[in-house]
Amino acid sequence: MQIESVWIVLAVVLVILELWAINRVRKSAGKGSNKGVWIIAIVFLPLFGLIAWALAGPKHVTQD
């Protein structure tokens, strides 16, 4: 596998993780402003935003 293919696979995995995290933030219980900050952090700081959210983000998700 060429190195370009590895980077493409890693980028796709990161995008999928970002979409999953954004969905979890959106469904979480909490203030709308806090959700907005987390979503902005996840989108504009992809890897660091995901790590920060995983460590300190909202833990409760409401059932639809």
Cβ 26 vs Cβ 60: under 8 Å: no
Write out pLDDT tens, residues 6-45: 999 999 999 999 999 999 888 888 788 888 998 999 999 9
pLDDT at 53: 86
pLDDT at 1: 65
pLDDT at 19: 94
What is the rounded CA–CA span in Å between residue 37 and residue 49? 10
Query: How would residue 50 be classed by pLDDT, with cut points 50, 70 and 90?
Result: confident
User: pTM (2 decimals)?
Assistant: 0.77
